[in-house]
Amino acid sequence: SPLSPAANVQPEINGYSMPSGQKQAGYSAFLEPKKPSWLSRLWKTAKLSDEEMNEDGYVNLQRSNSKIMQIAHLPVNLVRNALKKSTVEPGTLILVRHGESEWNHNKTFTGWADPDLTEQGKREVEHAARLLMEGGYKIDVVFTSRLKRAIRSVWILLQEFNEVYLPVFKSWRLNERMYGALTGLCKKQTADALGHELV
């Protein structure tokens, strides 16, 4: 009997293609860690699964060596790492909050809602970029959330640095915390109703 056209189609969950034969749905499939092998326990390194790395675009940052080559180079790498002194300077982590959003301006619980920046918020990010340039900071790579206010803040910041070509990786894991039922409520009115200490 002929195969149906949908037999080889990979289903999409929240905009992501799921591997064929995937039993779980949603983000839980990406969050399930693989059981560590004896090799990863030996190295004592925590590695993300291929699906999780593909989801946010990090897979291109990793070397693609085969397992056999990794095992073959293991003794050499262990000896080399034990003998050599580290000459690599540690990097600098720069944390920049997004500019004022429309809901920040209205004093509204935002969470995972996706309002844009206000004009004041755009000016705040431009000012932050100038302060970073005055401090002599250099940017190599940018990580941001999937929220519009954060992504637009990154665009403005990189435009000010004149480095719009830099790689930008977006992940929902960097989203603001989820406020649940509080999302969209006025902070002042909620504090008056439930108590300022609670809110």
Catalytic residue list contains 100: no
Q: End-to-end CA distance of the chain, in Å?
A: 62
The Cα–Cα gap between 54 and 41 comes to 23
* Beta bridge pairs of residue 8: none
Out of 51, 55, 98, 100, pick the active-site residue: 98
Kind and range of the H or E run holding 170: strand 168-170
148-173 residues labelled b (16+ CB within 10 A) or e (exposed) = ebbbbbbebbbebbeeeeeeeebeee
Give me 183's structure tokens. Answer: 């999302």
Q: Which of 3, 104, 19, 167 is nearest to 11 (CA)?
A: 19
Catalytic residue list contains 176: yes
Residue 55, CB-side half-sphere exposure with 13 Å CA sphere: 22
Count CB-CB contacts under 10 A for residue 2. Answer: 5
Q: Where in the sequence numbering do the catalytic residues fall?
A: 98, 176
